[in-house]
Amino acid sequence: MLTRIDHIGIACFDLDKTVEFYRATYGFEVYHSEVNEEQGVREAMLKINDTGDGGASYLQLLEPTREDSTVAKWLAKNGEGVHHIAFGTADVDGDAADIKAKGVRVLYEEPRIGSMGSRITFLHPKDCGGVLTELVTSADPGAAH
Ligand code: CMX
Ligand code: CO
């Protein structure tokens, strides 16, 4: 069951500059940052609020680490902006299987590693009304992140 907005993914050319925009404009601070080589991104997670399921909702700011990454490709075509949305679930495997059975393409056979050790998969934007959609199970679903 999808129980929250886990994050909104925003693609940018310059992560430090974008982090500073969110800090100066809204007062949001970086909760966590990391490089995910498999996804080809350097990212910052800004925690916006805790949620009723014991999790939280974030903004995920994404800067590409290499030219052939999905985010670099997207930025070249679209410029900066909202890249994807992510729903949180305690069971990414089960929810991905249920959604796949409804005819939506799930991009990974098995969930991969996302922010903060989470397990993630993606649904094809062409099957989701043009919205790249991620499903996320936190490393510790009972914890605040
Ligand atoms: N949102 C909406 N539509 C998108 C999209 C996005 N983020 N990315 C691509 N598309 C659309 C394109 O506009 C294109 O549409 P048209 O054919 O109408 O022009 C179509 O999908 C194919 O796009 P493409 O540029 O040829 O890109 P690919 O097919 O090579 O890749 C996708 C698209 C979704 C399979 C790829 O981006 C992917 O695997 N995404 C999942 C991984 C990811 O995004 N990782 C970065 C974030 C990591 C994280 O969140 O932790
Ligand atoms: Co994401």
* Residue 142 exposure: Cα atoms within 13 Å on the Cβ side: 0
Spatial distance between the Cα atoms of 25 and 30, rounded to a whole number of angstroms: 14
Residue 37 designated active-site: no
Closest CA to 119 of 94, 143, 138, 142: 138
- Considering the entire predicted model, what is its pTM? 0.97
Q: Is 142 part of a structural domain of the chain? A: no
Q: What is the pLDDT of residue 145?
A: 43
Q: What is the pLDDT of residue 140?
A: 75
Say which CATH number the domain at 79 has: 3.10.180.10
Number of domains in the chain: 1
Q: What is the pLDDT of residue 89?
A: 97
Mind listing the pLDDT tens digit for each residue in 6-26?
999 999 999 999 999 999 999
Q: Give, using CA atoms, the residue closest to atom 38 of ligand 1.
A: 70
Q: Which residues of the chain have pLDDT under 50?
A: 144-145
Spatial distance between the Cα atoms of 46 and 23, rounded to a whole number of angstroms: 9
Q: Residue 87: beta bridge partners?
A: 5, 135
* Residue 62 exposure: Cα atoms within 13 Å on the Cβ side: 30
Domain hosting 105: range is 2-137
- Taking the CA of 114 as reference, the closest ligand is 1
Kindly name the residue from 39, 60, 63, 145 that is annotated as catalytic.
Answer: 60
Mind listing the pLDDT tens digit for each residue in 78-88?
999 999 999 99
